[in-house]
Structure 1
Amino acid sequence: MVLLIFGLFLSVEEITQAHYGLLMLALIVVAIMLGFPTAFTLMGLGMIFGYIAFYTPGQPWYQNVIFDLMVQRTYGAMTNDVLIAVPLFVFMGYIVERAAIVDRLFHSIQLASGALPGSLAVATVVTCAIFSTATGIIGAVVTLMGLLALGPMLRAGYDTKLAAGSITAGGCLGILIPPSILLILYGATAGVSVVRLYAGAFIPGFILATMYVGYVMARAIINPKLCPKPPREQRPALARIAWELATSFLPLSLLILAVLGSIVFGLATPTEAAGVGAFGGLLLAVAYRQFSWSRLKESVFLTARTTAMVCWLFVGSALFSATFALLGGQQLIEQFVLGLNLTPIQFLIVSQIIIFLLGWPLEWTEIIVIFMPIFLPLLDLFNIDPLFFGLLVALNLQTAFLSPPVAMAAFYLKGVAPPHVSLNQIFAGMMPFMGIQVFAMVLLYIWPELALWLPEVLYG
C-alpha cells in the first residue's frame, strides 16, 4: 500500500496539497507497523496535516479551524447511536465468558455430537459459532476455546493440525457472524444500516460454519486416525445428553436468538437488543451461580477498555479522513483508479487483494476506520452495493486472520497451547480452512444474492 501511495506521488511532476494527503496515508501505515498507538497516531497526523491545510498566513496559531474540526468529530462519535451497541455487545460476551457459560456449552455439545465423526472438532466449531454470536471479539473466542478444547482433543489422539485449525477457524467466525463488532463499525463508517448488514451476514456465516463442520467430518471419515472415536461404552445415556442440552445449550441459544431475532425482524434496534443481551447474560450468570462482584468488575473493566479503544479509533479516523479529503488525497486516488479503466469485478478483486494484504500487518479495526473511507466513495463510481462490499470485506479479513505469516488467530492460540504444539503446526492446520474461506468468497462473488437476498426479503 505504501508503494502504491508513493507511486502516485511520483507520477505527478508538481507536488500539490493532494500529495500531502497521500504522504499522510503512507505515514499512518508506517507508524502503525512501528507500533505506535493507532487512535492517537490518527489524531496526531490529522491535526498536523489539517493545521497545514487550514493555515492562513498571519493567522494566530490557536484560531486554526482544525481545532474546531477536532471537537466536532469527537462530539459526533460520542453522539453516534450505532456505536452505543458496541459496549453492550462486548459486555454480553465478557460476562458469558467470565461466568464459565461457554464451558458448559462446549461440554453439552461435545456429549450431543459424540456419535459423529470428529465429534470433538465438530463440537469445537459449533461452540465457536455460538460463542461468536455472543461476542464479536476474535481473540477472546480463540483463546478461550484453545483452553477448553485443544487439551481434550490432543488427549483423545486428535491430529494436532486439525485440532488447531478447528479452533482458529471457528474462532474467526465472530468477524462475520452477528453481532459482529466489525459490521457495527463498518455500518457507522459507511452509513449502512447495521440491521441490513446483520441480515446479509446470516446466510454466508451459516454456510461458512457448515462447510467447516463438513470438512472436519469428511477428514474424519477418510482418515479415522486423525479423529479417533471414543469407545462406545464411554458415550453417555440419551437422558443425560438431553439434560445437558436443556440446561446449557438451550438457555444461551434462546438468548442469542432473542437478541438477533429482535434486530433482524425489526422488533428492536441493535442498541436496544444489545442492552437486553447484556442483561440476559447477567441473568444466566446468576442462574448458573457463577455471578460474583469480582467477575462483574472484571467484565466492566474489559468492556470499558475495549469500548474506549473503539471510540477513540472512530474519533481519530473521522479527523484523519476529513483532513485527507480536504487535502485532495481522495480525489487523486479516484482519478488514479478511474485511469486504470477497471470493470466493477476487476475493481472488487483489486480492492479485496489490497485489503487482504493490509490484513497481515494491521488489525481489522485499523483497516475499517482508516481505509474504508478511501474505498467507499469509489463504490458509487463502479455501482457496487456498500452492503455487499462490507460483507466481502468481513469474509476477506477473516481469511487474512487465518493466513500465514502474520495470522493473528495462530498467535492467540499459541499463547495458550501446550509447549509441544508449534506455530508451524498451527499454520499448517489453518491452511485448509483458509482455502474454504477463499471458496466462500468466490461463491459470494458469483452469487451476491447469498448476502443480498435476506435483507431484500425482510426490508425491501
Structure 2
Amino acid sequence: MEYLSLYLFAAVCLLLMLGYPVALTLAGTALAFAAGGILAGVFDAGFLNALPGRIFGTINNFTLVAVPLFILMGNILEKSKIAEELLDSMARAFGGLRGGLGISVVVVGMLLAASTGIVGATVVTMGLLSLPTMLRNNYSPSLAAGTICATGTLGQIIPPSIALVLLGDVLANAYQQAQLSMNVFQPKTISVGDLFVGALIPGLILVALYILYILVYSTLKPEAAPPADETRLDLGKLLKGLLPPLVLITVVLGSILVGAATPTEAAGIGAIGALILAYAKGQMDLARLREAVINTMEVTCMVFLILLGAALFSLVFRGFGGEELIHGFFHSLPGGVMGATLVVMVAIFLLGFILDFIEITYVVVPIVGPILLAMGLDPIWLGVMIAINLQTSFLTPPFGFALFYLRGVAPESLPTSAIYRGVVPFIIIQLLLIMALWAWPEMATWLPAQMKQ
C-alpha cells in the first residue's frame, strides 16, 4: 500500500507540469486517491478526521500573519518607486567604475529582495528598471541578464524573506515531530527568527561573491562592463535614496535579531514604515495604495490556498504509509545522514524546476524534514541549505523560474541564450556556497548560537 503514496506524488508532479492550478491539484489529487483507497479498502478514512484541525492550525498560525504584512511592505516599496530612485542614485555613485552598474544592481536587488522576499517580483522589477540602462551603457547582454536573474533570487535567502518565514514555520513543526519520535517529551524548538539569523551570514557572503565576480569579470573583459555615461555623484541624492529603505530594513531585521519583536510584529512595523516612507516621498496616493493592497490580498490568498491543499496532500500521503516508506529508504542509503541529505537536496533541486518554493516548503519538507532532523541534522543548517538549494534551482537553465520572469520583461533583442550563458557563473558561485556550508555548517549555526547566549 505504501507505494500508492509514490504514485500520489508522481500524479501531482505530472498534473502540475501540465499547468493545472497548484492548490487545487494538491487537494483534488489527494482526495481522489483517498476516495479510491477507501473504496479499495487500503486507506483508513479516519486519517481525514485530522483535516479540520490542520486547517484551523494553518489559519490560526500567528507566525504566518507575517506573510501578508511582508508582501504588503514589498508592494508599497515597489509602487512608490523607492527602488527606482535608489537604483538611480546607486548607479550615479558607482557608475564611474567598470562593473559599477552591475554592483549597483546587486546592492539594490539585495535591498529589494529583503523587502519583497519574492523571486518573481524582484526579477521583474529589476529587469524593468535596470536591464535597459545596462544595455544602453553597452554592458554584455549575458552579464546584464545573469546579474539581474541572480540578484532576483536573493529573495530566497536574504532575511526578512517570505521563503524563510514559511520554511521556518514548517521546520519548527518538523523539529518537534523529530524529537517526539525520539521520545523527547520536552522538545526544543526553533523560530523563524532563528532561521533569519542563520541565513544572514551566508546571504551576505553570497552578495559579496556576486560583487567580486562582477569586479573580476569587468577587469578581465573591460568592454563587457564599461563605466556608465552619466556618473555625476550627488551625495545628498544618494543618501536620500539609500537611507530610507536601508533604515526600514535595518529596523525590521534588527528588531528580530535583538529579540525586541517577533517576525510577525516586525512585519507589521515594516508595512507601516514602508507606508510612511511612500507618503513622505509623495509617491503614494489612494489609487496606488489600493493596487498594493489588492495585490497583497491576491498573493496571500494564493499562498494560504496552497497551504491548505498541501495540508490535505501530506495527510493522505501519510495515510498511505509514505512517511514510513521514505524513512526506511533513507536509513538504507549508504553514507547515513549525509547520504540521505544529499538525495533530498538533489530531489529538491530538481523539483524546483516545476514547483515554486511554497509548494516545496509545504509538500516536500514536511515529509523529509522530520526524518532528517531525527537523524541528527541541525534544523537551522537544513533550512539555510534548502533555501540556497532552491535559489540555485530557480536560476538553472532551462527551467529556472527566474529565467522565465526575466524573459517575460526583456526586449526581444536579448536572446534567450544570452540569459542562459549569463547565469552560469552565478550558479557556480551558489554551488560553491552550498559546498562551503556542507563543509562548515557553522556558517549557518554560529550566529544563532551566539545570539542565544
Match of 1:32 among 16, 28, 33: 16
Which protein shows a greater Rg?
Answer: 1
Q: Kindly state the Cα deviation for residue 117 of structure 1 after the two structures are TM-superposed.
A: 2.4
Q: Using the alignment, how far apart are the partners of 1:55 and 1:407 within structure 2?
A: 40
The SS at the match of 1:94 is helix
Q: CA RMSD in A?
A: 1.8
> Is 1:451 aligned with 2:449?
no
Match of 1:235 in 2: 231
Match of 2:95 in 1: 114
* Per-residue deviation, residues 370-396 of structure 1 (Å, max 9, x unmatched): 111121122134311122111101101
Match of 2:419 among 416, 426, 429: 426
Match of 2:141 among 143, 160, 165: 160
Q: Kindly state the Cα deviation for residue 195 of structure 1 after the two structures are TM-superposed.
A: 0.3
Matched-pair contact (CA < 8 Å) for 1:55–1:64: no
Matched-pair contact (CA < 8 Å) for 1:54–1:66: no
Match of 1:7 in 2: none
Match of 2:199 in 1: 201
Match of 1:399 in 2: 392
Q: Kindly state the Cα deviation for residue 445 of structure 1 after the two structures are TM-superposed.
A: 0.7
> Is 1:334 aligned with 2:330?
no
Letter in 1 for 2:232: P
Matched-pair contact (CA < 8 Å) for 1:116–1:217: no
* Per-residue deviation, residues 119-138 of structure 1 (Å, max 9, x unmatched): 11110111100111111111
> Is 1:49 aligned with 2:33?
yes
Instruction: Give the gaps of 5 or more residues in structure 1.
Output: 1-15, 58-62
Q: How many residues align?
A: 434
Match of 2:432 in 1: 439
Match of 2:128 in 1: 147
Q: Using the alignment, how far apart are the partners of 2:390 and 2:375 within structure 1?
A: 22
* Per-residue deviation, residues 128-157 of structure 1 (Å, max 9, x unmatched): 001111111111111111111111111111
Range with greater deviation from structure 2 (336-345 or 23-32): 336-345
Q: Using the alignment, how far apart are the partners of 2:213 and 2:35 within structure 1?
A: 54
The SS at the match of 2:155 is helix
Q: Kindly state the Cα deviation for residue 102 of structure 1 after the two structures are TM-superposed.
A: 0.4
Match of 2:161 among 180, 183, 208: 180
The SS at the match of 1:171 is helix
Q: Kindly state the Cα deviation for residue 399 of structure 1 after the two structures are TM-superposed.
A: 0.6
> Is 1:344 aligned with 2:344?
no
Match of 1:127 in 2: 108
Matched-pair contact (CA < 8 Å) for 2:99–2:214: yes
Match of 1:246 among 239, 243, 266: 239
Q: Using the alignment, how far apart are the partners of 2:228 and 2:96 within structure 1?
A: 9
* Per-residue deviation, residues 255-303 of structure 1 (Å, max 9, x unmatched): 1000000011110011110001000111111011011111111111111
Matched-pair contact (CA < 8 Å) for 2:115–2:161: no
Match of 1:20 in 2: 4
Matched-pair contact (CA < 8 Å) for 1:51–1:66: no
> Is 1:286 aligned with 2:279?
yes
Match of 1:273 in 2: 266
Q: Using the alignment, how far apart are the partners of 1:230 and 1:321 within structure 2?
A: 52
* Per-residue deviation, residues 139-176 of structure 1 (Å, max 9, x unmatched): 11111111111111111111110011110001110011
Q: Kindly state the Cα deviation for residue 115 of structure 1 after the two structures are TM-superposed.
A: 3.5
Which structure 2 residues correspond to residues 337-416 of structure 1 after superposition, within 5 A? 337-416=330-409
Which structure 2 residues correspond to residues 246-265 of structure 1 after superposition, within 5 A? 246-265=239-258
Identity %: 40
Match of 1:91 in 2: 72
Q: Using the alignment, how far apart are the partners of 2:51 and 2:366 within structure 1?
A: 17
Q: Using the alignment, how far apart are the partners of 1:80 and 1:251 within structure 2?
A: 31
Letter in 1 for 2:33: F
